[in-house]
Structure 1
Amino acid sequence: MMLFIEIVNYLVLIVCVLIGVAFVTLLERKVLGYIQIRKGPNKVGYMGLLQPFSDALKLFTKEPTYSIVSNFLAYYLSPVFSLFISLFIWVVVPYKVGLLSFNLGMLFFLCCLSLGVYSVMIAGWSSNCKYSLLGGLRAVAQTISYEVSLALILLSFIMLIGGFNFELLSKYQEFTWFIVICFPLGLVWFSSCLAETNRTPFDFSEGESELVSGFNTEYSGGGFALIFMAEYSSILFMSVLFVVLFLGSDSSSVMFYMKSVFMAFVFIWVRGTLPR
């Protein structure tokens, strides 16, 4: 019975994450619009609130196309694997509903992060396109490089709190946030998160000015939508994780979610401030 409740809790969490991803894409388009002195999407629904769902419907109803020289199975499975990893990693976030309590949550997070690069690499290789392959190779080099800094920062937290469980972090930040006493670590962590999620200014794997669209050049319709959802799910997860690590809040409080939305906004703000 407990297993059934945990599975239902996880499925509810996944639905909430996917809805959150939809609104993060809308937030990005709105923020970038105002940065560029325009309004952004405002036609579909009230103030454009239904725009992400309209886009999803459009992408998933498009006819699937693929290059005749691509590796068919790997080409189609890599976006699915990418989305699976980006949603599966959410179980490590400490919730009060008793979803799962990982005593080795930090190690699990690093393992999932390492697996994520395979989907990008396989997507680039299986497309059999030189631009996609270059984007995949760049993503591999970048992810391996920045995972070292993420692992070292997590190691410092492990030594500080004496455990691998993310739940311990909120107890240690009851009176002072870690961002106050570890500000340089916070900056390095945020920069590494930008690199891990392939965001500006580290979007080398998708460099539009050099590689057409990078590793996802040959993807359209549903495949592109899955890659897109995986990327924004990772951004949302990294925003939540930054709050857990540095802006300590109880996950059952409203402030926790407000801080997470603010961190997602900072990701978008960086993209608007540093154009290619």
Structure 2
Amino acid sequence: MWEQVQEAVSYIKTKTNFNPEYGVILGSGLGSFTDDIQIEFTLPYSEIPNFPVSTVQGHKGALVLGTIGNKKVVAMQGRFHFYEGYSMQVVTFPVRVMKFLGVEKLIVSNASGGVNPNYNVGDVVLINDHVNMMPEHPLRGKNDERFGPRFVNMSEAYSKKMIAKAKEIAQKLNIEVKDGVYLGLQGPTFETLAEYKMVKNIGADCVGMSTVPEVIVARHMGMETFGLSVITDMGDEDNIETISHDEVLHAAKSAEPKVRILIKELILEY
């Protein structure tokens, strides 16, 4: 994989001569964040050597490079999921590429189902930890020390300093945020009521089908990570029957202005 990553990095650098400090992965319905970037380059995934292509509605499929204030940023409009049929190495390939472009701080966003009774649809949750229940691990197999250590310390998967700064910004902007534990499942089915109950009993507050592999790989390479989740549905008896992907996209879209300003200000201030 080392050679494939370096080939992609070399192509992007040749095309852009750009060294971003921040990487941003945009989840379902959250792709408009790129409107906040002074865009200098846009590269379709299909042009980048060894890059997979997003197949899910609500994920555009391009790498956007530019600035927010004086900070250089690379953003993924659309991510890759294990349920699309990709291996975990392919799902997390762009995170590897970001690291070797120069990224030291990774921000990930997603849409998730809430099981915490204090949550409501449209809430923005700052992820303070995760539970990995994906059926495959992105670091399984022979470890390449050029990327990172064999055994990765996950005691601070999500940067406490970045969470504290985001809370400070949210308070200043009068944006209500919650915090909680995100649980990653494979998908693509939405959870059954029994599965939602399991998620809650395990100690998680929300559940989704992404983010966990990307954060594991980012931490493998020593990147500082920050994650936030938009609650797009509630996994309880009263709401479970109505959930569809269109509704998820609609709920994420309605919360997007809050997510956009939080990410933008975090990049500017941190």
Do both proteins adopt the same fold according to a TM-score greater than 0.5, normalized to the shorter chain? no
The structure that is helix-richer by fraction is: 1
Higher strand share: 2
Q: Which has the larger radius of gyration?
A: 1
TM-score using structure 1 length: 0.30
